Amino acid sequence: MIELSHIEKRFGDAVILKDISLRIPEGNVTALVGPSGGGKSTLLRCINLLEVPSAGTIRLGEDTLSFSPNQKPSWQAIQKIRRQTGMVFQNFQLFPHRTAIENVMEGLTTVLKWPASRARERAMELLTKVGMAHKADAWPATLSGGQQQRVAIARALAPSPRVLLCDEPTSALDPELASEVVDVLARLANEGTTMVMATHDLRLASKIANDVVFLEAGSIVETGAARTIFGAPAQERTKRFISTLNAGHSYDI
Ligand SMILES: Nc1ncnc2c1ncn2[C@@H]1O[C@H](COP(=O)(O)OP(=O)(O)OP(=O)(O)O)[C@@H](O)[C@H]1O
Ligand SMILES: [Mg+2]
């Protein structure tokens, strides 16, 4: 389980996240939605400690870390949390001078010190899972955006993280390529992968999220089951936002 308690994040005087408390059970998929600048990416970056919260507590499995403005957590404590997370970015961020399979192997050989043969075997399993085994030896630049993102998902999963964090995983892709990535993420969700994802993609969110958190100006406006938030949100503000996402589309939710 992931538990965030009273997380606050400041950049200088600006309070970017305000008193965020969330519980994400094992196997759950939570979508973070809300207007641009609301703090979705910052919240994801706080979960893997790419940003260190200014206050509050994070619990990930057996590890708990509390934050305060005048006390920096140790590098070891940060690594312990970070290693339980995998991150998928909007723009893939594959290493351009490594092939697809080398990208997936990288963390296993350098961070976890696995022998190359074992890392290659694990990487091939993951490439197969995301439908990219046939491109194992391809360079990232020769892959479509959807293919690059599927390799990036395999890379994020390689060390078996407790949670997969995805920041707008489909928003750099045209609809057809996005649907390849949605299908892969849906399969992972069905297999019980715990995920937290920031997305504007209602198709993605409605297809795979169990829970939705609506974040605006650094605060949680409303949170609940995906069906409720997309179908019958309680707050007027959430209703307005969801209707902008819905505009021009009809989704089966
Ligand atoms: N390193 C930083 N220094 C100062 N301010 C920052 C920093 N990173 C983010 N912010 C600010 O924090 C706020 C939240 O940004 P964030 O990127 O988390 O929003 P978001 O919900 O992910 O938006 P989008 O939907 O556009 O991706 C914004 O006002 C942004 O300018
Ligand atoms: Mg963002």
- The ligand 1 atom at the shortest distance from the C-alpha of residue 51 is 1
Residue (of 248, 213, 218) closest to 230 by Cα position: 213
| CATH code 3.40.50.300 region(s) in the chain | 1-84+164-248
| CA of residue 72 to ligand 2 center, whole Å | 25
Helix 116-129 vs helix 100-110: crossing angle, to nearest 10: 130
Is the CB–ligand 1 distance for residue 16 below 6 Å?
yes
- C-alpha span between 154 and 173 (Å, rounded): 18
| CA of residue 36 to ligand 1 center, whole Å | 8
- C-alpha span between 193 and 81 (Å, rounded): 17
Is the CB–ligand 1 distance for residue 46 below 6 Å?
no
Q: Average pLDDT of the chain?
A: 93
Question: Which pLDDT value is given to residue 246?
Answer: 63
Q: Averaged over 224-246, what is the pLDDT?
A: 88
| CA of residue 42 to ligand 2 center, whole Å | 7
Percent of the chain with pLDDT over 70: 97
Sequence letter at residue 86: G
Question: Which pLDDT value is given to residue 247?
Answer: 58
Q: Averaged over 6-12, what is the pLDDT?
A: 96
> Strands across the sheet with 163-167, in order?
85-88, 163-167, 195-198, 29-33, 211-216, 219-225
For residues 216, 220, 225, 228, the Cα torsion angle rounded to the nearest 10 degrees is -60
pLDDT at 173 over 80: yes
- C-alpha span between 251 and 248 (Å, rounded): 10
Is the CB–ligand 1 distance for residue 85 below 6 Å?
no
Nearest CA to ligand 1 atom 17: 41
Question: Which pLDDT value is given to residue 252?
Answer: 43
Nearest CA to ligand 1 atom 3: 11
pLDDT at 251 over 80: no
Q: Choose the residue to mutate in 11, 15, 166 for probing ligand 1, maximizing ligand atoms within 8 Å of C-beta.
A: 11
Residue 189 in contact with residue 164, Cβ under 8 Å?
Answer: no
- Least confidently predicted of 13-22, 29-38, 92-101, 226-235: 226-235
Q: Are strands 195-198 and 163-167 parallel, antiparallel or unpaired?
A: parallel
Could you tell me how many residues make up the chain? 253
pLDDT at 253 over 60: no
pTM over 0.85: yes
| CA of residue 38 to ligand 2 center, whole Å | 8
Q: Averaged over 50-77, what is the pLDDT?
A: 93
| CA of residue 253 to ligand 2 center, whole Å | 24
pLDDT at 75 over 60: yes
State the architecture of 1-84+164-248 in CATH terms. 3-Layer(aba) Sandwich (3.40)
Residue (of 162, 159, 154, 151) closest to 28 by Cα position: 162
Encoding tokens for residue 6? 């009273």
